[in-house]
Amino acid sequence: MSDFLPPDHSLPPNHFLNLPRPDIVVGAGDGIVDTTTLAAHDFDVDTRTGFMPPDSPISRLPEEWEPWEATLDKAMSMKLQLAVKLGLTEHEIAQSCSWRTDVRNNLPVLSTKGLTTSELLLRRAHHVLTYIMHSYIHTLPLDAEIRIPASISIPLLEVSAHLQLPPVATYSDTVLYNWDLKSPSEETATPALDNLRSQELFTGTNDEQEFYLASSRIEIRGVEALELMRATMDEMFVGDEIAVRRITGYLHKLAAVVDELKSILLDVRKGCEPEFFYHSIRPWFRGEDSDPLERKWAFEGLEEHPEIAQPTDLSGPSAGQSALIHALDIFLGLDNCSTGEEGALSEGQRTLLRRMQIYMPRHHRNFLRHLSANPRPVRSLVMQGDPKLVESYNDAVRAVKEFRDAHFRIVTIYIIGPASRERQARREEEESGSVENRPPLKGTGGTHLAQFLKGVRDKTADAMVTS
Ligand code: HEM
């Protein structure tokens, strides 16, 4: 399979992702190892890059799928504009119309058969096809139906079935598998946080890149958190007094790492301008459930493919799909210790957190499942009351709570604030009778969002243990 890959991107031949993978439709052939099962042990978590792949993801598919790459290149070079942009010019409307017409009339329905032998090619295909699909949907006139041409929908649905991911852009498309090194570094080294860049950007702007890179840097810095979790679990297995002392030290260190993650998150303000994010970047990510006009997405060509299921999970990408933060929650027992009192999560909110896992790469989902099934959870040891251990555990919980406080501030600056200003401007326009022909504002960035994020944050705070 690695024949397809440029040599500098090939994985070691014995890496589990380099083994032949079974075809999800036809099943495993004779002598083909089921890498999905192997993955349950490997989890595709790297000691240097964590949930990010150890090498920068491939940046181009082989010749056979060049029409997809060329279509995406064209969208990027034409600087297509969002249909929701205020004051869209005739020229901008004509540009996106001509790109979409080209996709509809000239892009063939390419076979995905040759991709299915390689996890890395499938990932690139998912990335390219979802970026094309989001470009197509979000440039469509607001009064048009959303009909995704078969040349995008059929290969995307096939690729998504193989990856067990929804057919929509996910955090793995925008962050995990969308990075490169600015300048090549030692192959074995963890990438420096300032040596990362993004591969594809809807807007071609540094603001969008900085938005993605805030998450990439958190993933890379989070590798030490994963290592501390692993070391703690090893010591839990030993369970003697020395082990407890060591765990105490690990939890304090974990708190310090999470404090750094918070600083990286807050640094997003240095490179990404909030109003630009809200009006010009975020709308590209919208999934079916955030359409301002509540239009449904129709995947054309499905009627000729009874073997492909109608997609149901079509929310847009979010760093809430980062397995790192979910792993911290599970490791510290923050997801299980609901008190049922005020501030705890409602069933719907808990479901929302769980639903985010559907959008994660399946190996990472398996990793979280494995972590949840840990027979010796750290919180149970802490509950035995060793004062120093309690203190260090509470330090780690404090750090996660403060990360969520900072996240809430960021969401207020980037979404809740701009959304409220937008509503205010609308009200003023309505009062003065100068309303433009615009779609109604849908309740993104309002009370529900604040309630949800505060609920998760308060539940984290509730997890502190009193000795
Ligand atoms: C400008 C930067 C960011 C914005 C505007 C933002 C926005 C949001 C929004 C709107 C949600 C609600 C759920 C959803 O709509 O998907 C959310 C949830 C979440 N985000 Fe962010 N986010 C940002 C950066 C990050 C980063 C860098 C991380 C960590 C890698 C992160 C981690 C999370 C998590 C874990 C949740 C789930 C709720 C929770 O566990 O507290 N976010 N974010």
What number does the ligand 1 atom closest to the CA of 415 have? Answer: 5
The pLDDT score that the predictor gives to residue 33 is 42
Q: Which residues pair with 146 in a beta bridge?
A: 297
What number does the ligand 1 atom closest to the CA of 413 have? Answer: 5
Cα 54 to Cα 10, 78, 239, distances in angstroms: 11, 32, 32
Task: Supply the residue whose CA is at minimum distance from atom 31 of ligand 1.
Answer: 319
For residue 130, being part of any structural domain is answered with yes
For residue 55, give the amino acid letter: D
Closest Cα to residue 128, out of 177, 53, 203, 68?
68
For residue 151, being part of any structural domain is answered with yes
For residue 349, being part of any structural domain is answered with yes
Establish whether residue 174 lines the binding site of ligand 1, counting it when its CB lies within 6 angstroms of any ligand atom.
Answer: no
Task: Supply the residue whose CA is at minimum distance from atom 8 of ligand 1.
Answer: 411
Establish whether residue 282 lines the binding site of ligand 1, counting it when its CB lies within 6 angstroms of any ligand atom.
Answer: no
Establish whether residue 327 lines the binding site of ligand 1, counting it when its CB lies within 6 angstroms of any ligand atom.
Answer: no
> Residue 412 corresponds to which tokens in the numbers above?
């207020």
Per-residue pLDDT of the chain (467 residues; tens, 9 = 90+): 333 343 344 555 555 555 555 554 444 444 444 444 344 347 889 989 999 999 999 999 999 999 999 999 999 999 999 999 989 999 999 999 999 999 999 999 999 999 999 999 999 999 999 999 999 999 999 999 999 999 999 999 999 999 999 999 999 999 999 999 999 876 667 899 999 999 999 999 999 999 999 999 999 999 999 999 999 999 999 989 999 999 999 999 999 999 999 999 999 999 999 999 999 999 999 999 999 999 999 999 999 999 998 999 999 999 999 999 999 999 999 975 544 444 456 777 777 888 899 999 999 999 999 999 988 899 999 999 999 999 999 999 999 999 999 999 999 999 999 999 998 988 888 888 776 666 666 545 567 889 999 999 999 999 999 87
Domains identified in the chain, total number: 1
Ligand 1 centroid from CA 407, angstroms? 7
Helix, strand, coil percent content, the chain, rounded in steps of 5: 60, 5, 35
Ligand 1 centroid from CA 386, angstroms? 34
Reported pTM? 0.90
C-beta of residue 112 within 8 angstroms of C-beta of residue 158: yes
* DSSP one-letter code for 358: G
C-beta of residue 202 within 8 angstroms of C-beta of residue 135: yes
Closest Cα to residue 133, out of 176, 161, 167?
167
The pLDDT score that the predictor gives to residue 348 is 74
The pLDDT score that the predictor gives to residue 1 is 32
E strands in 143-195: 146-148, 179-181
Establish whether residue 414 lines the binding site of ligand 1, counting it when its CB lies within 6 angstroms of any ligand atom.
Answer: yes
Task: Supply the residue whose CA is at minimum distance from atom 4 of ligand 1.
Answer: 411
The pLDDT score that the predictor gives to residue 351 is 78
Ligand 1 centroid from CA 385, angstroms? 33
The pLDDT score that the predictor gives to residue 9 is 43
For residue 79, being part of any structural domain is answered with yes
Establish whether residue 165 lines the binding site of ligand 1, counting it when its CB lies within 6 angstroms of any ligand atom.
Answer: no
Q: What is the CATH number of the domain that holds 349?
A: 1.20.58.480
Element (H, E) at 198: strand 196-198
Establish whether residue 325 lines the binding site of ligand 1, counting it when its CB lies within 6 angstroms of any ligand atom.
Answer: yes
What is the rounded CA–CA span in Å between residue 336 and residue 103?
47
Mutate to test the pocket of ligand 1, among 318, 334, 338, 460 (most ligand atoms within 8 A of CB): 318
Locus of tokens 């297995």? 237
Please measure the distance between the N-terminal and C-terminal CA atoms of the chain and give it in whole angstroms: 56
Establish whether residue 52 lines the binding site of ligand 1, counting it when its CB lies within 6 angstroms of any ligand atom.
Answer: no
The pLDDT score that the predictor gives to residue 186 is 66
Establish whether residue 265 lines the binding site of ligand 1, counting it when its CB lies within 6 angstroms of any ligand atom.
Answer: yes
The pLDDT score that the predictor gives to residue 215 is 98
Angle at the Cα of 327 from the Cα atoms of 321 and 331, rounded to 5 degrees: 155
For residue 10, being part of any structural domain is answered with no
Establish whether residue 404 lines the binding site of ligand 1, counting it when its CB lies within 6 angstroms of any ligand atom.
Answer: yes
C-beta of residue 32 within 8 angstroms of C-beta of residue 95: no
For residue 232, being part of any structural domain is answered with yes
Task: Supply the residue whose CA is at minimum distance from atom 25 of ligand 1.
Answer: 319
* DSSP one-letter code for 196: E
Does the annotation place 407 within a ligand binding site? yes
| Burial call 85-95: b when 16+ CB within 10 Å, e when fewer | eeeeeeebeeb
| Residue range of the domain that includes 158 | 63-431+441-463
Establish whether residue 215 lines the binding site of ligand 1, counting it when its CB lies within 6 angstroms of any ligand atom.
Answer: yes
C-beta of residue 130 within 8 angstroms of C-beta of residue 173: yes
Query: Is the C-alpha dihedral spanning 344, 345, 347, 350 positive or negative?
Result: negative
Closest Cα to residue 376, out of 268, 267, 277, 235?
235
Task: Supply the residue whose CA is at minimum distance from atom 21 of ligand 1.
Answer: 319
Establish whether residue 125 lines the binding site of ligand 1, counting it when its CB lies within 6 angstroms of any ligand atom.
Answer: no
What is the rounded CA–CA span in Å between residue 217 and residue 210?
10
What is the rounded CA–CA span in Å between residue 287 and residue 465?
39
Ligand 1 centroid from CA 282, angstroms? 12
Mutate to test the pocket of ligand 1, among 407, 408, 453 (most ligand atoms within 8 A of CB): 407
* DSSP one-letter code for 416: I
Q: Which residues pair with 322 in a beta bridge?
A: none
Ligand 1 centroid from CA 198, angstroms? 19
For residue 416, give the amino acid letter: I
Task: Supply the residue whose CA is at minimum distance from atom 24 of ligand 1.
Answer: 319
Ligand 1 centroid from CA 320, angstroms? 5
Task: Supply the residue whose CA is at minimum distance from atom 6 of ligand 1.
Answer: 411
